[in-house]
Amino acid sequence: MSRKRNKRRRAKEQEEFSIPRKSIPADPSKQAPNNSYGPPLFYEDLVFWCRDCGSKEIWTAEQQQWYYEVAKQPIYGTAVRCTPCRAKVREAKEVQRQQMEAADKRRAGES
């Protein structure tokens, strides 16, 4: 039974890997300034595993283009988390920010 499930999972992984890789040309002039010898000239769909939950994700060529050319992120940066985990991190940061603000206000009130 479990063997069967493994087999099915492997088939699914194969399927994911065989997604036709798309590549779109990069525009290095739009990337954040860098002194890299080889700035990426193409973006290609990338498979990665989420740092937090380990789920397998695809960082698409379009997402990379946006990340490097619109968001102007360093070209060494790369996707490390899946979308739900990214949202969780963002949320945690926001809570932290609010707590710090509240603490600042309390301190201001004390003085």
User: Given the rule CB under 5 A, which residues bind Zn ion?
Assistant: 50, 52-53, 55, 82, 85
How many separate helices (H) and strands (E) can be counted in the chain? 3, 4
Nearer to Zn ion, 34 or 83 (CB): 83
The span from the CA of 1 to the CA of 88, in Å, is 35
Nearest distance in Å: CB 59, Zn ion = 13
Nearer to Zn ion, 24 or 80 (CB): 80
Helix (H) or strand (E) segment spanning residue 95:
helix 83-110
Nearer to Zn ion, 75 or 81 (CB): 81
Q: How many residues does the chain have?
A: 111
Nearer to Zn ion, 26 or 57 (CB): 57
Nearest distance in Å: CB 92, Zn ion = 14
Nearest distance in Å: CB 82, Zn ion = 4
Residue among 56, 40, 45, 43 nearest 21 (CA): 45
